[in-house]
Amino acid sequence: MTLVLAGCSGAQSTFDTAGVEAESVLSLFWVMLAGSTAIWLFVVGLSIYATKANPEAHSEKAGVRLIIWGGCVFPVVTLSALLVFGLGMMPEFRRAADGPTIAVSGERFWWRIHYEVEGEPGVVRSLPRNGVESANELVLPVGRRTELLLGSPDVIHSFWVPSIAGKTDAIPGRVNRLVLEPTREGVYNGVCAEFCGEAHAQMGLRVIVLSETDYAVRVAAEAAPAALLDHPGRALFSANGCNACHTVRGTGDDGHKVGPDLTHLAARRTLAAGVLPMTPENIGRFIASTDHVKPGVEMPVFDTLSEDDVASIADWLGRLK
């Protein structure tokens, strides 16, 4: 029992809640569990009684009455009550956001994040991309209702941070809205909950809930250009075409916003959407063998680079806090 319950806590558990919506979902779960357990015990008890009881002891009329009350009236009343209870939670989820708006795009196989986006998604229903870009790590202010605009440029993904809220799909061609209201500071894990291709299971997300002040500091840091531009790795990064996909703001390399923005890569906790801890060694390992580290990843293997060049690029990227 202890072992089983130990699985119910942690950074990625619907039982270890840290958000208003997740708390409602959990209370709904407990009500349904308690109700279904009581009904199950009653029905099993009744079945055991039926096998022991003498059929002559009850009239046919009593049997018909049991079917009408137990088989029709009881389920209608119970399920209606459950429906009312469930619907009663909805207005809470629908309350307007009073915090920032953040655009989150599910990509194969990582999460693109834009803070401080301005304006509504247009008629073309594409996500605004005008804010401060980051990837795979979402920072939220505690106690505020943050609105996420969810979309995707390729296939359907599903955004799910079990400790904070229920899942919402990120669908190409439209924008779904999800309001997150974290109640506790901390680091939580999120996943992609819709099969989207080979590396679907390696499409992790870290959600970091900070105080409002720390949130503002963190977003301002994210908005700043990269430091340390006179490192030899920076020249190798451009010379070897890394900048064709990746942007490092401040270097003049736009990167066409194909892959994750690397401006503050080293400030993130993990590499390749939750696959590896963020260290220069792991960055090098990933560049030289993307297909081994994360099978199905869109980034090609750069095994033509010398070990020294990879180490130098990794060293530079590993310093971009």
Binding region for ligand CUA (CB under 6 A): 106, 109, 157, 192, 194-196, 200, 203
Crossing angle for the helix pair 74-87 and 20-52, nearest 10 degrees? 170
Q: How many degrees, rounded to 5, is the angle at CA 165 between CA 159 and CA 170?
A: 20
- Of the pair 200, 234, the CB lying nearest ligand CUA is at 200
d(CA 232, CA 84) in angstroms, rounded, equals 64
- Of the pair 110, 188, the CB lying nearest ligand CUA is at 110
- Of the pair 170, 313, the CB lying nearest ligand CUA is at 170
To ligand CUA, the closest distance from the beta carbon of 109 in angstroms equals 6
To ligand CUA, the closest distance from the beta carbon of 198 in angstroms equals 10
Q: How many degrees, rounded to 5, is the angle at CA 248 between CA 113 and CA 267?
A: 60
Peptide bond into 109 cis (omega under 30): yes
- Of the pair 19, 106, the CB lying nearest ligand CUA is at 106
- Of the pair 109, 115, the CB lying nearest ligand CUA is at 109
- Of the pair 106, 259, the CB lying nearest ligand CUA is at 106
- Of the pair 150, 248, the CB lying nearest ligand CUA is at 150
Phi, psi of 265 (to 5 degrees): -50, -45
Let me know: does 113 contact 104? Beta carbons within 8 Å. Answer: yes
To ligand CUA, the closest distance from the beta carbon of 254 in angstroms equals 25
- Kind and range of the H or E element at 135? strand 132-135
To ligand CUA, the closest distance from the beta carbon of 297 in angstroms equals 12
d(CA 205, CA 282) in angstroms, rounded, equals 18
Let me know: does 115 contact 222? Beta carbons within 8 Å. Answer: yes
On the CB side of 312, how many CA atoms lie within 13 Å of its CA? 16
- Of the pair 171, 305, the CB lying nearest ligand CUA is at 171
- Kind and range of the H or E element at 146? strand 146-151
Cα dihedral: 303, 314, 311, 240 (round 10): 50
To ligand CUA, the closest distance from the beta carbon of 23 in angstroms equals 26
To ligand CUA, the closest distance from the beta carbon of 178 in angstroms equals 15
Let me know: does 136 contact 89? Beta carbons within 8 Å. Answer: no
Let me know: does 315 contact 228? Beta carbons within 8 Å. Answer: no
To ligand CUA, the closest distance from the beta carbon of 20 in angstroms equals 25
To ligand CUA, the closest distance from the beta carbon of 13 in angstroms equals 20
Residue 201 tokens read as: 């299971």
